[in-house]
Structures are given as structure tokens and as C-alpha cells.
Amino acid sequence: MNTQVSTIITIDHPAGLHARPVARFVTLAARFPCSITVRKLNGSKPPVNAKSALSVLTLAVNQGDTVEIVAQGDQAQEAINALIDLIQHNFEESTTSHS
């Protein structure tokens, strides 16, 4: 069975999808055997491989931008759920300054 699951979500992280958030996003995506793509909805670029940090960075996703994440294959739903959770929890970063 070749399951495809997608979600549309807004990135609220102050830095958008840059550096540390991308590293966490890509690391999490890579744990799943399915193919995963991400696309910035208000951009003109095609979907990119969510398991490639460089590809995700080229989307230039900023705070407030909306992205579509599509997973296809084994564990697609689990992958989408995990990525939604990561985004909703601000990429596991606190919003306060680090001391």
C-alpha cells in the first residue's frame, strides 16, 4: 500500500525554517522510510526533499509562511504527525533567551 498524507501548516518560529529549525526538521524526517517533501505555499519553488537541509533552506521559509508537507509510503501518517508536533512545539526551542 502506497499511502500519501499531507498537511498545511504555518511556521511560527521567529527564524522561520533556518539553521537550527531546519536541522531538527530534516533529522526527524530522515527517521521515516517514506518520501517526504515540503513546499512553501506563497512561493514559486517546487516541493523539495524534506530530508535535505540544503533543499529546505532554499525555500526561504520565514515566520508566518505556510508550508505543505507531503509524505508518501511506509509510516507516512506517523511522519506527518511527528513533523506537525515538532513545528507546533517551536522546533523544541524555548522562546526565551539562552543563558
Residue 89 annotated as catalytic: no
Q: Which of 13, 18, 89, 98 is catalytic?
A: 18
For residues 16 and 8, give the distance between their C-alpha atoms in angstroms, rounded to a whole number: 15
Angle at CA of residue 33, ends 30 and 36, nearest 5°: 65
For residues 20 and 25, give the distance between their C-alpha atoms in angstroms, rounded to a whole number: 9
For residues 30 and 74, give the distance between their C-alpha atoms in angstroms, rounded to a whole number: 13
Residues paired with 72 in a beta bridge:
4, 35
- Is residue 33 within 8 A of residue 7, CB to CB? The reply is no
Return the active site residues.
18
